[in-house]
Amino acid sequence: MTSDVMNAGPGAAATLLRSWESASVSSVWLRPGDWYTPAAEALVEALEAGKDTAPAAFRLGQARAAAGVGITEAIDDMTVLFRAAGFQTPPIRSIRSLCEGWTERDLAPIVAPTMTDAESGLGTGEYLVQRLAEVYGMASRSNTKVSQTHALVIVDVSVSDNDPWQRIARNAAVGHALKDAYGDGHPMARLSDGIYAVLVVRDANLGTGLSALRDHIAERSIQMRVGNLMRQPPRVWVESLPDAHAHVQDLLESVFR
C-alpha cells in the first residue's frame, strides 16, 4: 500500500515530509498506518518556507488528538521533524501550540483507553490499583506480604499553575523519564498533575534506582526545556505499601491530597 505522503507535492517539502514519516515510524510512532495527516504536510510547508510554525503545530495537535494519539507521542513525532530539518529541538512556541491544539477536546475528541493517561503515556491511578491487585493476589497465594516485597516510588514535580500546555509538557517529560529509568515490567502511573508512582521490588537496587531516576528527570527536563515548569528539585521517595489491598486506594489518595 502506498503511503499518502508519497502523493505530496514535489520539492524540498515533499522530501522532508517523507523523511519525517520514515524517521518517526522507525523510532517513536506506534501505529504506522495512521501517521499521515494534511496537518503534518502543512507544518512541513511552513517550516520549509521559513514561516512561523506555531499555527500549523496547533492544527497538528488537533489532528493528533482526534486520532487518539497521546501528547507524548505527538511531541516526540514533531521533534523528529525539526531534527530532520537540522534543528536540535522544536521552538518552544511550536511545542506549546501543539499542546494547546491537542487540548482542544471539543474540536478534536479523542478515544483513549481508560487505563492509559494520554498526557504522560503512563497508566492511570485505576490501572495501578488493578496491577497492585494482581501483586496482592500472588502474595496471598505464596503466603508473603506485599509490604515486605514491594513498594511505590513516588515522584512529585508539581507546581502551582493553571496553564494547560505547561501541565501537558510537564507530564510528558516525567513520563519519558520514568520509562527511561525503569523500562518495561514496572507498572507506573500518573496519580495527579505532577505526581507519579512506580511499583518496584524491594531489593538491593532500590536506592540506585532512585538516583538514576533523578538523573533521568533532570536530563528530560533539559531536553524538553521544561525545567522551569517543575518543582526544583523534584521530590522522590519510597512509599511503603499496606498489608491489605483494600487500603491501597486510601494510600494513593493520601499521596496527592
Look at residue 106 and tell me whether its pLDDT is greater than 50.
no
Asked whether residue 192 is domain-assigned, the answer is: yes
Asked whether residue 225 is domain-assigned, the answer is: yes
- HSE at residue 54, side-chain half, CA atoms within 13 A, is 8
User: How far apart are the two ends of the chain, measured CA to CA in Å?
Assistant: 51
Look at residue 191 and tell me whether its pLDDT is greater than 80.
yes
Domain that holds residue 138: 125-256
How far apart CA 133 and CA 218 sit, in angstroms, is 32
User: Is the CB of residue 36 less than 8 Å from the CB of residue 16?
Assistant: no
The reported pLDDT for the residue numbered 217 is: 93
Asked whether residue 110 is domain-assigned, the answer is: no
79/167 same-domain check: no
Asked whether residue 111 is domain-assigned, the answer is: no
Question: Among the three residues 102, 135, 150, which one is the final residue of a domain in this structure?
Answer: 102
The reported pLDDT for the residue numbered 114 is: 65
How far apart CA 19 and CA 14 sit, in angstroms, is 9
Domain count for the chain: 2
3-class secondary-structure state, position 23: helix
83/149 same-domain check: no
| Model pLDDT for residues 58-104, shown as the tens digit of each residue | 999 998 988 888 888 899 999 999 999 999 889 999 999 999 999 87
Residue with the bigger pLDDT between 46 and 224: it is 46
Whole-number average pLDDT of the chain: 85
Range from 103-117, 131-145, 161-175 carrying the lowest mean pLDDT: 103-117
3-class secondary-structure state, position 154: strand
**CATH number of the domain enclosing 217:** 3.30.70.270
The reported pLDDT for the residue numbered 108 is: 44
User: Is the CB of residue 27 less than 8 Å from the CB of residue 80?
Assistant: yes
Q: Which of 86, 9, 74, 7 is nearest to 35 (CA)?
A: 74
The reported pLDDT for the residue numbered 7 is: 41
Asked whether residue 144 is domain-assigned, the answer is: yes
Range from 6-10, 108-112, 184-188, 195-199 carrying the lowest mean pLDDT: 6-10
Phi-psi region of 21 (alpha: psi -120 to 50; beta: other; left: phi over 0): alpha
148/87 same-domain check: no
Asked whether residue 153 is domain-assigned, the answer is: yes
Taking residues 178-193, report their average pLDDT.
88
How far apart CA 93 and CA 78 sit, in angstroms, is 13
145/248 same-domain check: yes
Look at residue 202 and tell me whether its pLDDT is greater than 70.
yes
The reported pLDDT for the residue numbered 197 is: 95
137/91 same-domain check: no
171/83 same-domain check: no
41/98 same-domain check: yes
The reported pLDDT for the residue numbered 192 is: 87
Kindly give, in sequence order, each residue whose CB lies less than 8 Å from that of residue 132, ignoring residues fewer than 6 positions away: 146, 187, 199, 241, 245, 248
The reported pLDDT for the residue numbered 110 is: 47
Q: How confident is the model at residue 213 (pLDDT cuts 50, 70, 90)?
A: very high
153/226 same-domain check: yes
Taking residues 183-195, report their average pLDDT.
87
Kindly give, in sequence order, each residue whose CB lies less than 8 Å from that of residue 162, ignoring residues fewer than 6 positions away: none
Asked whether residue 60 is domain-assigned, the answer is: yes
> 199 forms bridges with which residues in the sheet?
152
Taking residues 227-245, report their average pLDDT.
90
- The reported pTM is 0.66
160/74 same-domain check: no
130/221 same-domain check: yes
220/179 same-domain check: yes
Q: How confident is the model at residue 1 (pLDDT cuts 50, 70, 90)?
A: very low
| Model pLDDT for residues 18-39, shown as the tens digit of each residue | 899 999 989 989 876 789 888 9
Asked whether residue 114 is domain-assigned, the answer is: no
Taking residues 193-217, report their average pLDDT.
90
85/130 same-domain check: no
How far apart CA 19 and CA 16 sit, in angstroms, is 5
